[in-house]
Chains A and B, each alone.
Chain A
Amino acid sequence: MKHDITFTVNDESYSIAVESHHNLLRVLREQLVLTGTKNGCSEGECGACTVLLDGEPVNSCLVLGVEADGHAITTVEGLAVDGHLAPIQQTMVELGGTQCGFCTPGVLIASHALLLRNPDPSEAEIRAGLVGNLCRCTGYVRIVDAVREAARMQRTSVSPIP
């Protein structure tokens, strides 16, 4: 059975009909063809599908599409502004926080959310903030470095826009 929903994704409004059993991840990837958000387990364990729902990070595989009705979603495609990478995207590139890149969208969203909550996280807070995002390539070292550096950039108002 389909339901009509209206929601915003990356500041753009959508009115679409979604199957009642389709999760938000599937709606984003298959109906909106926003394929940056990845499916790593479909069970809410790996964090690859993390998106922001009204500013809070959620595993989009555990949210039904219909539950997004009336809400605002941010995906990895929405982090860059006018083609300019967000600080966390810049530092992930510069510090080598991405290898295969499959966990990267979820890691970026979780990191972005962490920095919204806590602009000056300690190393332990960064690690705890990323505990729901599995990465098999990097050993997390450069990801933690990238979050720390992005926090510093944002605090010291170093413009992410060159």
Chain B
Amino acid sequence: MAIKKTTIVGQSFPRVESNAKVMGAAQYVDDMQFGPNLLHGRLKRSTVPHAMIKRIDVSKARALPGVRVVVTGQDYPGLTGLYLSDRPTFAVDRVRWVGEPVAGVAADTPELAERACELIEVEYEELPGVFDPEFGASGAAPLLHPDLMDYAAVPFIFRQPGTNISNWFKVRKGDMEAGWAEAAHIYEHTYRVPHVQHVPLETHVAVAQVDGNGKITLWSASQSPFAQRNLIAKSLNISHSKLRVITPYIGGGFGAKAGVSMEGACVVMALNAKGRPVKLAMSRAEEFHTTFVRQGLVAKIKMGMTADGRITAMQNTYYWDGGAYTEYGVNITRAAGYSSTGPYFVPNVHADSLCVYTNHPVGGAMRGFGMPEIHWAIEQHIDRMATQLHLDPVQVRLLNCLKEGQETVTGMIMHPTGLSQCIAKAAEALDWETPSKPSGTGKRRGKGIAAMWKAPAMPPNPGSSSTIRFNEDGTCLVNIGGVDMGQGALTIAAQLAAEGLGIPIEDVRVNTVDTDYSPYEWQTVASRLTWSMGNAILRAADEAKTQIIQMVAEVWGEDPQDLDIIDGNVVSYATEESVPLKNIVVYGMQKPDGTWAGGPVVGKGRFMPTYVTPLDAETGQGPRAVVHFTTGAQAVEVEIDEETGEVQVLKLVSAYDVGKAINPDMVRTQMEGGAVQGLSTALLESIILRNGQPMNPSFTDYRIATAVDAPVEMVNIIVEVPQDDGPYGARGIGEHAMVPTAPAIANAVRAAVGVEIDSMPITSEKVWKGMKGQE
């Protein structure tokens, strides 16, 4: 069958829900009304980073009038976790980070709940802590999880008995001795990335209620309604059918709202609330260090290059600061392992990616899932080596970047990719060869580039599904289990359904998620919805379309091959007859003999990748580590003030191979938003932890980029080399947009003033000190 030209896919429609958002009418969890019997939850949190709990006395809290529920870890000792079940809902016996919940209170007002938390007495016996992942991985560190080997876990993580290492991903590829021998130049260096926070503008919030039949409903600002249902049901040992998760609009996620963090505590309180709904909302301070943070990283890179810039060998060690619980972080470690070389062909690799328990906040998924962190190291390293060898950083990247048919670090054969194009186009758009003049005296300018790759990081078999139902007037409802957290999933779903069905996009409505009515979706993470959920939607559309066409063909006495649906009408290429979808998609059609054909049209579709293979535990090698990689590059120009060390990003070019842009303008808005989030982490952000105590959990002390920090000029370039397993060839773009930003800026800073910044963020102080050090 010839590929038809698309009419809706590839068009830049505005977001389908934007009117509700600009009118203040879009409902988020905190906007939902639960009536006057709503209880307000609050968590009593650990004040110490590592201790045994000697005693918890809740009697004074319980005695406070208006306090309805008090729960502790003794009441609900089950463990949970996405990949490794190591996390209790409330601490049992031991606390492992400052902010860990030790008790929960629900009361008539938020003020009473807060007062009750203050009245709970907890006596700790403090233990030595682990505040550095490299130390944590050593034999000298105290053990934070003596029961590590007893926790339930997925089969693709590798724990080390008697250590704090909850996953160790190893790559042993090629011949390292030969690789070093072939190199004309070998350079070794250590880079660091601090903890940062996602900072969704909406903090985590959940409401839970139990009805008379014991059915629990959880309204949750979540990227993962189905994963929350799964993990909470399992941790409470209840049936999945007894738990319903509803997710309306959510105010950003960036990974923070993936998996489960505080929602289980809300459910546990509701189970004790005698049918009253319980709301648990995180304060901004709590958001900064008690749900999820991006893990810290210590990255040691050793690279060999020939005199003309070809990479001969890489030896990388990544120590991930996983925090108190690594239930989610173990898979970031794995992703960093199977992506450990960056987007380059490297024949000889020795890589170790270690997830290490520390007494720091819990590390979780954040936009990029380990890739911004490892690229901070790799992309600076390759740039420095290019300079050391008097080579052009763009040419070195073009020489080494992965091309179709080459082996990745895990032995997978690279699929068609536009990586070379992205690097070349980004450099060209920045006018790479031509230096530009500073805006005045005391200012210096520089240009930098960084490339990237990222695969959807997930289990081998995360599923998607979708259903499409028609209404009497020919419009349809698309049900999905994926969440629109701002990235545009509802709009992409509408476009794919409309294109697949042959109806106008105005005739498609996409519903937000209710696990009792929406079809299954693993999680809204890994930039996987457009790709995976998109495939399921196209299959649902195809099934619905087939039902319609077969009915009409039967009634008209035609061959279904001659019929199509165009702009909401079934048309016959043979007879030029036409009938609108209105009515027939619900009531069916009457045949010439007076009997009927058809019935209410319901299309269903599902998609699950079935082709990902396991990797060898000792070598990290296997035929197909991941489904595919999205690749790209960013190039930036900065200007630095010699007096203050302040870095201003003047121009930022992004170029990504998205396979096929379903909605090109929304691809560009992902590139812009991701780049500024990347810029913000590069220049401003760090959760300052002193012996486990968070020092800056507020917007006053933890700055994120504002409108004046955003680049003066941004250029977004879409490259489209189709992906064979993507809808219309599409790949994800959401996370990728911030992966190369920080190293690109660091490389530009080095080009401008010769200062090398090993440790993110690139503060004015560090740049200024670096410049002073040169004098």
| Interface of A toward B, CB cutoff 8 Å | 29, 33-43, 45-46, 48, 75-77, 79-80, 85, 89, 92-94, 96, 98-105, 108, 126-128, 130-144
Mask for B338-381, Cβ within 8 A of A = 1, else 0? 00000000000000000000000000000000000000000000
Are B486 and A99 closer than 8 Å at their CB atoms?
A: yes
Known A77-B24, A98-B18, A102-B252; judge A137-B666 contact (CB<8 A).
no
Residues from chain B with a CB closer than 8 A to the CB of A75 are: 24
Docked CA distance A34–B18 (Å): 18
Known A98-B18, A100-B250; judge A46-B707 contact (CB<8 A).
no
Which 7 pairs from chain A and chain B are nearest by CB?
A: A36-B24, A102-B251, A100-B486, A139-B676, A101-B21, A99-B486, A45-B699
Are B14 and A40 closer than 8 Å at their CB atoms?
A: no
Residue of A nearest to B698 (CB): A43
Docked CA distance A162–B698 (Å): 44
Docked CA distance A45–B284 (Å): 10
Are A99 and B24 closer than 8 Å at their CB atoms?
A: no
Contact of A100 among B23, B25, B251, B707 (CB under 8 A): B251
Are B673 and A139 closer than 8 Å at their CB atoms?
A: yes
CB of A39, distance to nearest CB on chain B (Å): 7
Are A104 and B21 closer than 8 Å at their CB atoms?
A: yes
Q: Beyond A134-B706, A140-B676: 5 further Cβ-contacts under 8 Å?
A: A40-B203, A76-B22, A102-B200, A131-B708, A137-B252
Interface of A is mostly: loop
Residues from chain B with a CB closer than 8 A to the CB of A93 are: 14-15, 18-19, 22
Residues from chain A with a CB closer than 8 A to the CB of B249 are: 100-101
Are B700 and A43 closer than 8 Å at their CB atoms?
A: yes
Docked CA distance A99–B672 (Å): 12
Known A33-B33, A38-B202; judge A101-B704 contact (CB<8 A).
no
Please give the number of chain B residues whose Cβ is less than 8 angstroms from any Cβ of chain A in the complex: 54
Confirm or deny: B487 has a beta carbon within 8 angstroms of a beta carbon on chain A. Answer: yes
Docked CA distance A77–B22 (Å): 9
Are A142 and B707 closer than 8 Å at their CB atoms?
A: no
Are A40 and B284 closer than 8 Å at their CB atoms?
A: yes
Confirm or deny: B677 has a beta carbon within 8 angstroms of a beta carbon on chain A. Answer: yes
Residues from chain A with a CB closer than 8 A to the CB of B23 are: 36, 76-77, 79-80, 85, 89
Confirm or deny: B199 has a beta carbon within 8 angstroms of a beta carbon on chain A. Answer: yes
Residues from chain A with a CB closer than 8 A to the CB of B17 are: 101
Residues from chain A with a CB closer than 8 A to the CB of B18 are: 92-93, 98, 101
Residues from chain B with a CB closer than 8 A to the CB of A92 are: 18, 22
Docked CA distance A41–B250 (Å): 16
Are B707 and A108 closer than 8 Å at their CB atoms?
A: no
Confirm or deny: B669 has a beta carbon within 8 angstroms of a beta carbon on chain A. Answer: yes
CB of A116, distance to nearest CB on chain B (Å): 18
Docked CA distance A80–B198 (Å): 32
Q: For chain B residues 469-513, which have a beta carbon within 8 Å of chain A?
A: 485-488
Confirm or deny: B28 has a beta carbon within 8 angstroms of a beta carbon on chain A. Answer: yes
Residues from chain A with a CB closer than 8 A to the CB of B700 are: 43, 45
Q: List 12 interface pairs A-B (beta carbons < 8 Å), by A numbering.
A: A34-B24, A76-B22, A96-B15, A96-B665, A99-B15, A100-B200, A100-B250, A102-B201, A128-B707, A134-B699, A134-B706, A140-B710
Are B202 and A100 closer than 8 Å at their CB atoms?
A: yes
Known A38-B251, A42-B283; judge A104-B22 contact (CB<8 A).
yes
Docked CA distance A29–B205 (Å): 16
Residue of A nearest to B26 (CB): A101
Known A36-B23, A80-B23, A101-B249; judge A130-B707 contact (CB<8 A).
yes
